[in-house]
Amino acid sequence: MYSLNVRDHFMIAHSFRGEIFGPAQRLHGATYVVDATFRRPELDPDGLVVDIGLAAETLKAVLDDLNFRNLDDEPAFEGENTTTEFLAREIFDRLARAVEAGRLGEGAQGLTAIWVTLSESHVAWARYEGSL
């Protein structure tokens, strides 16, 4: 299996519902480092997993929709606890739609999976791995 990873970051504010979250029930900020790993069993005819420039641009565009937002105010997330795990899946879904729409180029049609890892710090992160 081949893979290619691109990295970016975004900053948000949010709060959580539920006693399990303790002080994080109050509004707080988070800065995430995001790794998007694109996977496929064979390279495309150009010897690529996916065009790295298009992958980086697409990840940035996906994150721009979240960056500097209070996620508590976003209608798409109403009623959700926007945990790191939840956001990893959300970013995966948005990247998968971009692949389907052809935004990562024709070669991206050979992708079989994307892994999205959100790092909250150097000691804590979450990942969502999904098939395409």
pLDDT score, position 35? 98
Kindly state the average pLDDT of the residues 42-51. 96
Ordered by where they begin, the domains of the chain are 2-131 (3.30.479.10)
Strands (E), 15-124: 28-40, 69-70, 113-119
Give the position of tokens 């980086």: 56
> What average pLDDT does this structure show over 63-87?
97
Q: What is the pTM of this model?
A: 0.95
Among 107, 69, 106, 111, CA closest to 90: 69
Cβ proximity of 40 and 70 under 8 Å: no
| pLDDT tens-digit readout, 5-45 | 999 999 999 999 999 999 999 999 999 999 999 999 999 99
Q: What is the pLDDT averaged over residues 73-93?
A: 97
- pLDDT score recorded for residue 58: 98
